[in-house]
Amino acid sequence: MNKDKPSVQVIKLKPVHLEKIWGGTWLKEEFKFKTKSKNIGESWLISAHPGGDCRIANSVYKGKTLSELYSLRRDLFADDPHEKFPLLVKLIDAREDLSVQVHPNDDYALHNENDVGKSEAWIILNAQPQTRIQIGHRARSREELEKLVKAGEWNKLLAYRKCSKGEIINIPSGTIHAICAGTALIEIQQSSDLTYRLFDYDRVDKDGRKRDLHLQKSLAVIDVPHRFAKRIFMPRRKDYEALAPILKTPYFRIGSMRVFDSLFFYNLQHKYYLIAVLEGRGKIGKLSAHKGDSFILTSDAVKTKFQGQLNLIISTL
């Protein structure tokens, strides 16, 4: 704790909603977001990225952006050495198929884009019975990958499968992927918006123009061969009242926690935690918490009381 500056243990954030041509109405209906936007494709819950910098909703820093607070009070974030706030938590609702894309790793992004790379993970919140997801490819070598891409033989290259509510999907940088129509999810990712579009189904806009593709950059960063991972799902138990780990990556850890009455969360390692409320209502510290709200538990917080009926996704470095 910084003795010269006020202690702030819990930060509440205002989400940034992004209207997308492929977005739907599920997020607005499910989370009761107050926005004039019709088709919300993405709701950035915790972000200091220039594309959607969330504002603080409480404390003496109310009204400041998360990027401003991170710059002013690095001590609240465990003196994190990252130059910029490193993680981003968002909700996504796809009414239509998103383009097939891939993200670069840190090394490629730094040398070619002067930015960090992007690894991400999804937790599927809603999926229709026939909803599918595009993850990975079938090329056995880089030569085969380039041949199939240049020939446009997407049916031979791209791997699709069904997805289900409650599924956890890790998408490391270098992984070809696409969110398909009828899917809603929460995404935890590196704070980067670097996306290389590999294929867009030959769609055209109202003027008959196709969207730009990034074939050379995509081919440079795609991992070959793709390693298909075992499917994993959220814990099925409904009675746990502790932080249950669900995924660990080189960039972040994700856990799930349920609150049924009240419990104390002990931050013995003095980390900071990103919290998204998926269901329920109650309190986190002294702040009201409802479905769709987001918080940061700062490294100032040692013992925090959670109250009410809450289903939480909690992530940290």
* Four-point Cα dihedral 143, 145, 147, 153, nearest 10: 160
The SS3 assignment for 257 reads strand
8 Å CB contact between 100 and 175: no
67: β partners: none
Task: Assess whether 197 carries a catalytic annotation.
Answer: yes
Q: Find out whether 278 and 312 touch, Cβ atoms under 8 Å.
A: yes
153-162 average pLDDT score: 96
Question: Is-contact 156 147, C-beta < 8 A?
Answer: no
pTM, two decimals, is 0.95
CATH number given to 244-316: 2.60.120.10
CA distances to 104, 116, 119, 236, 247 from 191, rounded to whole Å, are 13, 8, 9, 30, 18
Query: Environment class of residue 219 by beta-carbon count within 10 Å: exposed (0-12), middle (13-18) or buried (19+)?
Result: middle
What is the per-residue pLDDT across 134-154, written as a single tens digit (0 to 9) for each?
A: 999 999 999 999 999 999 999
**pLDDT tens across 228-266, in order?**
999 999 987 665 567 889 999 999 999 999 999 999 999
DSSP letter assigned to residue 83: S
CA distance 95 to 29: 14
Integer Cα distance of 145 and 134 in angstroms: 16
The pLDDT > 90 percentage for the chain reads 87
CA distance 230 to 157: 20
Q: Which of 138, 142, 197, 281 is catalytic?
A: 197
Which CATH architecture best describes the domain 10-233? Answer: Sandwich (2.60)
Instruction: Report the relative pairing of strands 273-284 and 287-290 from DSSP bridges.
Output: antiparallel
Q: Which helix (H) or strand (E) holds 149?
A: helix 142-151
Instruction: Tell me the domain boundaries of the chain.
Output: 10-233, 244-316
Rounded to the nearest 10°, the torsion over CA 282, 285, 291, 297 is -160
Residue 114: which residues within 8 A CB-CB, separation 6 or more? none
Give mean pLDDT, residues 201-221. 87
Residue 172 has pLDDT above 80, yes or no: yes
Conformation bin of residue 68: beta by default, left when phi > 0, alpha when psi is -120 to 50: alpha
* Amino acid identity, position 261: D
Q: What is the pLDDT of residues 57-99, one digit of tens each?
A: 999 999 999 999 999 999 999 999 999 999 999 999 999 999 9
Q: Do domains 10-233 and 244-316 have the same CATH topology?
A: yes
